[in-house]
Amino acid sequence: MSERRAEGTWVPLAHRVPELGALELLLAVARLGSLGRAARELGISQPAASGRIRSMERQLGVALLDRSPRGSRLTEAGALVTDWARRVVEAAEAFDAGTQALRGRRDSRLTVAASMTIAEYLLPGWLIALRAARPDTAVSLLAGNSATVAERLLSGEADLGFVEGLSVPEGLDGTVIGHDRLVVVAAPGHPWARRRTPLTAAELARAPLILRERGSGTRQVLDSALSKSGGLAEPLLELASTTAVKAAVVSGAGPAVLSELAVTEELTARRLTEIHLHDIPLHRALRAVWRRSQLPTGPARDLLTLTSQPANPAAPGVPPAKPGGE
């Protein structure tokens, strides 16, 4: 039993048993035959060591050492206490070894769940940097839409997640790590590419678009932006990845709304044309997320830290992260 009754009250074991440092000091004195040498070995002053022994003697109610100019000798009670202390310290060392093994096992692998844009255009650079810092950590990446990322975190399948959307998914905590702009794009031969006036929200809402599936961060932002203009029209196509949407737009199938990160190369090469908009809010936060009240630790914490590094070759144009909450 970890507590005992004393005068009608429960006295916790921690109040009755000397702390581990005092027991280690007693073992050192028994081994070295000198309080001064034991203090030096443990890196404390001799007055501090003397005070720790006296405090332990008061707590236990017995004398542990006979002190003399020739050194310190265990009393009969001190010899018994030393034997018991040795077993306690050995158990503590076994406890420490076990917890270190648990940390090592935890730190040997990391599972990251990320929505498609972050998985394709941002995470590669972060994971390269993590590999340099933690070469022994094996990383698994699970890509999906923002809703799927939340499901994987809540089920315990992933240790850390990254989403694009309007808010932190239910049941998770998170922090904004950057911002992204969505752009309307079309093939150069599409009629919109020859427009001289910006596209209005009503026009965008009426147009059949090539869209990401429901649950994606891109779809959430677009639904919200066009909610006052009648909402989205029936999709021309509904595809499950940014790469598939982009390929369909390049082929001339129709226009789409995509992350600026995803189409930078195609816009530069003029395989796609950006369609200018009239006052349509298509910006979103990029977030790192984790299970509520379970702050990232080990390699997950290190990866989160890397998202705030100013130099990120895999993420052109994305502002540095500002960890610390919404």
Number of domains in the chain: 3
Domain assignment of residue 313, yes or no:
no
Same domain assignment for residues 147 and 24? no
Q: List the one residue out of 254, 280, 278, 98 whose CA is nearest residue 185.
A: 254
Q: Is 94 a member of any domain?
A: yes
The answer as to whether 47 is a domain residue is yes
* 72 and 198 together in one domain: no
Q: Report the C-alpha gap between 323 and 287 in whole angstroms.
A: 9
**In the listed set 51, 86, 105, which residue is the last one of a domain according to the structure?**
105
Same domain, 289 and 172: yes
Residue whose token pair is 């503590």 = 92
Residue 257 within any structural domain of the chain: yes
Statement to judge: residues 97 and 115 lie in one domain: no
State the Cα–Cα distance between residues 211 and 265, nearest whole angstrom: 20
- Closest CA relative to residue 296, chosen from 172, 180, 178, 169: 172
- 201: containing domain: 180-283
Measured between alpha carbons, how far is 250 from 262 in angstroms, rounded to an integer?
13
The verdict on 138 and 151 lying in the same domain is yes
DSSP 137-201: -EEEEEEE-HHHHHHHHHTTS-SEEEEEESSPPTTEEEEEEEEEEEEEEE-TTSGGGG-SSPBPH
Indicate whether 301 belongs to any domain: yes
The predicted model scores a pTM of 0.64
Give the Cα-Cα-Cα angle 177, 256, 286 (nearest 5 degrees): 5
Q: Is 220 among the domain residues?
A: yes
Q: Residues in the chain, how many? A: 326
Q: Are residues 213 and 239 in the same domain?
A: yes
In tens digits, what is the pLDDT along the chain, a chain of 326 residues? 444 554 557 778 777 888 899 899 999 988 988 888 899 999 999 899 999 999 999 988 999 988 877 777 889 998 999 999 999 988 888 887 777 666 655 556 899 999 988 999 999 999 999 999 888 888 999 999 889 999 999 999 999 999 988 889 999 999 999 999 999 999 999 999 999 999 999 999 999 999 988 888 889 899 999 988 888 999 999 998 889 999 999 999 999 999 999 999 999 999 999 999 988 889 899 999 999 988 998 899 999 999 975 433 333 334 333 333 44
- Give the separation between CA 319 and CA 321, rounded to whole angstroms: 6
| Domain annotation covers residue 226 | yes
CATH code of 61's domain: 1.10.10.10
